[in-house]
Structure 1
Amino acid sequence: MRLTKFGHSCVRLDTGEGAVVIDPGVFSDPAALDGADAVFITHQHPDHCNDPALRLLAEDRPDVRIFGPSGVSATLADVPFTVVSADDVIPVAGTEVKVFGEHHALAHADIPVVQNVGYLIDGIYHPGDSFTVPDAPVRALLVPVAAPWLKLAEAIDFIRAVDAPAVYPIHDAILNDDGLAIVDRMLANLIGEPFQRIPNGVESTV
């Protein structure tokens, strides 16, 4: 499996038989969608679901399937879209995508909690904006590290709960270089060897 991060929470997984993109949002490089066979959205927030880019994709390549929780359907409106929920298993690109979870992490009691699902693909887990721990083995965790809804202590507890042998940070577009360095240093010190940063646009074998 080859993994490429395209900014913020967007990753592309190339299986050898196709390409799956997760969370192409407004902070991500639209090039992630080039040649994609399927797109999976964790939730409706624009930093995870760039609806203008997805509309263009649906117009140019109507064969590409787009998946996500039912809350995303209002954002995508007339774009062809398949609703998924926890425990679904979707065959795509020569592999399977397993769906976990239901809710976005709590930002504040005054802010409504939207639907959010996580995706497990060949042992690589993308939780979206949640701390849902899948009841399945995870060999590589994509962990959110910076957000208005997140404390770094929560990310560390989540990493430890999942207990994956490899940990890659995502959801970090709001950090400048100094902020990234601080987060990386703390996670490297507390998590150790499993923590690795994948630079944007660099394909890595996972």
Structure 2
Amino acid sequence: MNLTKRLHSCVQLEKDGRTLVIDPGAFSEADAGLGADALLVTHEHPDHFEEGRIRAALDANPAAQLWTARSVAEKLSAAYPGRVHAVGHGDAFEAAGFEVRVHGELHAVIHPDIPRVANVGFLVDASLFHPGDALTVPDAPVDTLMLPVHAPWNKVAEVIDYVREVKPRQAIDIHDAYLADIARPIYDTALANLGGAPHRRLGAGESAAL
């Protein structure tokens, strides 16, 4: 499986000539979803779900399908009958040749006065876990953890403890559009020294073999 990091929380996975894209939101490249055989969206917030990008991807490939939380699926299912699937915690499915299991139910708390929305994390091929906007710990081993390093709902101490709890072989940054380049070394150093797992930062468009 080959991983390509796109902007913010969007990642592209390729295997056996097929492509899976997770969270091509408004902070990702305009073409982030194009070329996907399957799409996964963790939740409805615009930095993870941008309806125009999803529609463009589904229109470009009539065989492409989307798996997502019910609140997102309801926005698209009528326009794409049979191609949009609502999933929740505990579900398992195959998407473009990738085996996917769903972990998690709710977005992390931003503030007690802000209602929490549904958020589903995806464990792909029993290897790579993308949690969306939550610090969900899957009840299965994780080889590569896509790590939300900076968000309105977290702090670096929580991110460090999350890596320690999941115990992945490696952690790769996502959810990083909010973080200025000048501050990145602070996060890199803290995670590398305290997280307990090798930590990597990929630039937009940079790939890694998993």
Q: TM-score, normalization: structure 2?
A: 0.93
- Contiguous gaps of at least 5 residues in structure 1: none
The number of residue pairs the alignment matches comes to 206
Q: Does 1:70 align with 2:74?
A: no
| Equivalent AA in structure 1 for residue 7 of structure 2 | G
| Equivalent AA in structure 1 for residue 208 of structure 2 | S
Whether the 8 Å contact between 1:2 and 1:204 is mirrored in structure 2 is yes
Runs (4+) of structure 1 exceeding 4 A deviation are none
Q: Give the fraction of aligned pairs with identical amino acids, expressed as a percent.
A: 45
SS at match of 1:141: strand
- Contiguous gaps of at least 5 residues in structure 2: none
Whether the 8 Å contact between 2:36 and 2:61 is mirrored in structure 1 is no
Q: Which of 85, 89, 113 lines up with 1:86 in the alignment?
A: 89
CA RMSD of aligned residues (A): 1.5
Q: Give, in whole Å, the separation in 2 of the partners of 1:126 and 1:29.
A: 18
The 5-angstrom pairing of residues 1-206 of structure 1 reads 1-76=1-76, 78-80=78-80, 81-122=84-125, 123-191=127-195, 194-206=198-210
| Equivalent AA in structure 2 for residue 83 of structure 1 | A
Shift of 1:60: 2.8
Whether the 8 Å contact between 1:124 and 1:141 is mirrored in structure 2 is yes
Deviations 1:148-185 (A, max 9, x none): 11111111111111000100111010111112222112
Deviations 1:15-49 (A, max 9, x none): 12411100001111133323211000000000000
Q: TM-score, normalization: structure 1?
A: 0.94
